[in-house]
Amino acid sequence: MFPKWFSKWNRDNPTNIYGPAIAFGVVGSAVFAATILVAWGQPFSTDSLQTGPRGAGMSVPEFEADLAKADPSIAGFLASTSDPVVPQGGEQTAGRARDNVPPGLEDLTVENYDRLLAAMREWTGIPDLFDDPESYQTSVGHVMIGMTRTINEGWDIHVNANKEVGVTCYTCHRGEPVPSDVWFKTGPVTASTEGWSSNQNRVTMQSQYTSLPSDALEKYLLDGERIGVHDLESRVAGVPGEDGYPGIQQAERTYALMNYVSNSLGVNCVFCHNTRAFYDGSQVTPQWATESLGIQMVLELNNDYLVPLQSMYPEDRLGPVHEDAPKLACKTCHKGYQQPLQGTNVIEDWPELATSDAPDYGN
């Protein structure tokens, strides 16, 4: 295809073009990459939150790009919130002026009731919530108002741990009737399916898609079993799982729970523990205590509020294995963030949901 004289000239004058080409390519790419880095900045730079004493390696690293990004749900909340109307005295109450007012809201002024009702409908994505007294959504909604108030009042120590944050229906529901990250029991149904394999090696959200046991949420956040497995005793005198020593499966179940917790908050283990001593309550961070309270809160919410609703739900809301009521845990509120909605104060505009007493409008 080349003229003859060219092929001949080429044969007579052999030149190594590959060496210089590679050298040129390498230097060229390096200069290009360096120019991009200088011009645009390091895209994978991290920032870390130090959680323990210096030298202990206790830090939670995150990409700066992620830290700068706001949780997209915050905008949804801000769009649905409005300032309370401070009562001047003498207003009509919702109980007199409106129909089907949920118990506990009758004494609100009509203006504040209307505004709360509109917000609750947006937060749960149920446009006619509380219109039909026969609907199961109405009965469940009544319980939910009480539960939300209990969380803000009784578990103030968790949901306002660092500063006022609180919860509203939106914290869990985010505009959907069924909140994300609810869970159901997965344990064995009959004696014949009981045993090791039925709890482990199954692809479930409850085990965070690991081979760890799938019943961690059930055992620890519903049945209230003891979580601790680690101490400095030797196991020589007895067999794990017997003789009063925690078994190996219990240790694995603890890790399943801890994986779930870490993923729910988007943190790693040293956010709460000094990992050289998981058992030692004197080496933990303040967040460990907030989590302990969170565990107690979730136990109460599941057992006192959500489990008793079972008979009210239609079949399609119940669990696939045990037909149990949907339950909540850390991720139902946190959704992968250290603080739900990145610590946005959601309760300040909704004193009606902050307490079961008369709301404090600051007047």
The CA-based angle 174-145-312, given to 5 degrees, is 90
Give the residue, chosen from 254, 324, 335, 352, that forms a contact with ligand HEC under the rule CB under 6 A: 254
Nearest to 183 by CA among 215, 152, 229: 215
State how far the Cα of 75 lies from the Cα of 120, in Å rounded to an integer. 16
CB of 116 to ligand HEC, least distance (A): 9
Nearest to 120 by CA among 94, 102, 99: 102
- Residue number, 216 or 329, with CB nearest to ligand HEC: 329
Tell me: does residue 108 bind ligand HEC (CB under 6 A). no
Structure tokens at 148: 């939300």
User: Would you call 271 exposed, middle or buried from its count of C-beta atoms within 10 A (0-12, 13-18, 19+)?
Assistant: buried
Give the residue, chosen from 105, 108, 267, 354, that forms a contact with ligand HEC under the rule CB under 6 A: 267
Tell me how crowded residue 362 is: count the other CB atoms within 10 A of its CB.
Answer: 8
Binding mask 167-206 for ligand HEC (x = CB under 6 A): x-x-xxx---xxx--x------------------------
> What residues from 330 to 359 belong to the interface with ligand HEC (CB under 6 A)?
330, 332-334, 338-340, 343, 353
Nearest to 328 by CA among 141, 168, 182, 148: 182
- Residue number, 95 or 343, with CB nearest to ligand HEC: 343
- Residue number, 110 or 293, with CB nearest to ligand HEC: 293
> Which residue in the block uniquely carries the two structure tokens 């709301």?
359
- Residue number, 47 or 194, with CB nearest to ligand HEC: 47
- Sign, CA torsion 303/151/292/264: positive
- Residue number, 80 or 290, with CB nearest to ligand HEC: 290
Nearest to 67 by CA among 45, 88, 51: 45
Binding mask 290-329 for ligand HEC (x = CB under 6 A): xxx-xx--x-------x----------x--------x-xx
State how far the Cα of 212 lies from the Cα of 216, in Å rounded to an integer. 9
Give the residue, chosen from 58, 212, 258, 354, that forms a contact with ligand HEC under the rule CB under 6 A: 258
Give the residue, chosen from 4, 11, 54, 163, that forms a contact with ligand HEC under the rule CB under 6 A: 163
State how far the Cα of 230 lies from the Cα of 36, in Å rounded to an integer. 49
φ/ψ of residue 76, rounded to 5: -60, -40
State how far the Cα of 100 lies from the Cα of 106, in Å rounded to an integer. 10
Question: Of the listed pieces 61-69, 88-96, 157-165, 206-214, which binds ligand HEC according to CB under 6 A?
Answer: 157-165
State how far the Cα of 252 lies from the Cα of 219, in Å rounded to an integer. 12
Give the residue, chosen from 288, 300, 307, 337, that forms a contact with ligand HEC under the rule CB under 6 A: 288
Contact status, residue 326 vs residue 52, Cβ threshold 8 Å: no
- Residue number, 28 or 228, with CB nearest to ligand HEC: 228
CA 269 to chain centre: 15
Give the residue, chosen from 73, 124, 198, 200, that forms a contact with ligand HEC under the rule CB under 6 A: 124
Q: Can you give the binding site for ligand HEC, defined by CB under 6 A?
A: 120, 124, 126, 129, 137, 140-141, 144-145, 148, 151, 158-163, 165, 167, 169, 171-173, 177-179, 182, 227-230, 254-255, 258-259, 261-262, 265, 267, 269, 271-273, 278-279, 287-288, 290-292, 294-295, 298, 306, 317, 326, 328-330, 332-334, 338-340, 343, 353
